[in-house]
């Protein structure tokens, strides 16, 4: 095994490195979902106002013969690290953590997210001076089958492929749906305008579900990500406008999206969350990870 480390190119958007990482994440989870906390759809979704574009070259690509076999990345910005490895290259785990310390730290600080129970990661982290914290990240799962819901009278389901879909109205709704009260900044506005065409790789507009109120409001939304005939799907993002919460609309949006993924071959769907909302509509705890920090 001859693995070399390359830094991600400093190109924002859907570059070759972007697609290579996406393909890597699809490949390692194809037979069995190994990284439920960091699937290909999370990588695609984060390229927006959520990820610092100034530090892309800090991301580490571990390659064997030109093919990615390991990934050390941040999501929001440097100072944090997420890891994914081909199961045939588990020996890279300690090396990926060292890479993160050297390349993904911010002002000497770094926190890393490791799966609970993975001794190779954990023992490597301890040897490098990390200690686990009380901060957790959880993944929930739902088995796709008879997941029913009911809509209040006058409400309807619409997806982004509908000719009536209004991108501007959607972006106004998602901003309020996540309880933002400030104005969008320049980067967020630029990203919104760029995404108006919804050109993200592997995005299926039929799987972006809206619950439309009688007055035309986009009251609730669930974004689903799925590759036809793949056994798993991914939920991101979900919101309900404040005035429509606790009326069953969020449940309807999510379960409609889950159903449509099932029609394309998915058997289960994952969401990075431990919110009771998901458990109440049929999800169950599936995977847990812990944030580790360098010992002070």
Q: Give per-residue pLDDT as tens, 9-39.
A: 999 889 999 999 999 999 999 999 999 999 9
Report the first-to-last Cα separation within the chain, whole angstroms: 35
Under DSSP, the state recorded for 244 is G
**Number of domain units in the chain:** 2
Q: Which domain CATH number covers 33?
A: 3.40.630.30
Range of the domain at 215: 145-266
The verdict on 180 and 215 lying in the same domain is: yes
The pLDDT of residue 179 is above 90: no
What pTM did the predictor assign? 0.93
Contact (Cβ atoms closer than 8 angstroms) between residue 71 and residue 147? no
116 inside domain: yes
Residue 282 counted as domain residue: no
pLDDT of residue 184: 62
Residue 64 lies in a domain: yes
Taking the C-alpha atoms of residue 185 and residue 49, their distance in angstroms, rounded to an integer, is 9
Nearest one of 142, 145, 129, 75 to 97, comparing CA atoms: 129
């Amino acid at each position: 095994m001859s693995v070399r480390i390359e830094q991600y190119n400093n190109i924002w958007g859907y570059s070759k490195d972007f697609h290579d990482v996406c393909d890597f994440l699809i490949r390692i989870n194809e037979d069995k979902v190994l990284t439920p906390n960091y699937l290909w759809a999370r990588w695609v979704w984060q390229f927006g106002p959520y990820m610092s574009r100034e530090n892309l070259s800090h991301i580490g690509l571990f390659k064997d013969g030109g093919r990615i076999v390991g990934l050390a990345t941040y999501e929001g910005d440097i100072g944090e690290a997420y890891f994914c490895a081909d199961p045939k290259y588990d020996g890279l785990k300690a090396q990926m953590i060292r890479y993160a310390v050297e390349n993904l730290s911010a002002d000497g600080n770094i926190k890393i997210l490791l799966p609970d129970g993975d001794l190779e990661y954990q023992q490597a982290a301890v040897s490098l001076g990390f200690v686990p914290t009380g901060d957790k990240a959880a993944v929930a799962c739902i088995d796709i089958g008879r997941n029913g819901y009911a809509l209040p009278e006058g409400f309807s389901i619409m997806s982004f492929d509908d000719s009536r879909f209004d991108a501007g109205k959607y972006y106004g709704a998602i901003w309020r749906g996540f309880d933002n009260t400030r104005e969008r900044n320049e980067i967020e506005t630029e990203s919104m305008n760029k995404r108006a065409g919804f050109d993200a790789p592997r995005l299926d507009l039929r799987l972006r579900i809206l619950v439309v109120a009688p007055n035309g409001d986009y009251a609730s939304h669930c974004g689903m990500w799925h590759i036809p005939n793949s056994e798993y799907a991914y939920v991101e993002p979900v919101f309900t406008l404040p005035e429509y919460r606790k009326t069953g609309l969020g449940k309807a949006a999510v379960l409609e999206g889950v159903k449509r993924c099932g029609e394309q071959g998915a058997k289960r769907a994952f969401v990075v969350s431990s919110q009771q909302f998901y458990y109440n509509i049929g999800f169950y705890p599936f995977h847990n990870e812990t944030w580790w920090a360098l010992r002070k």
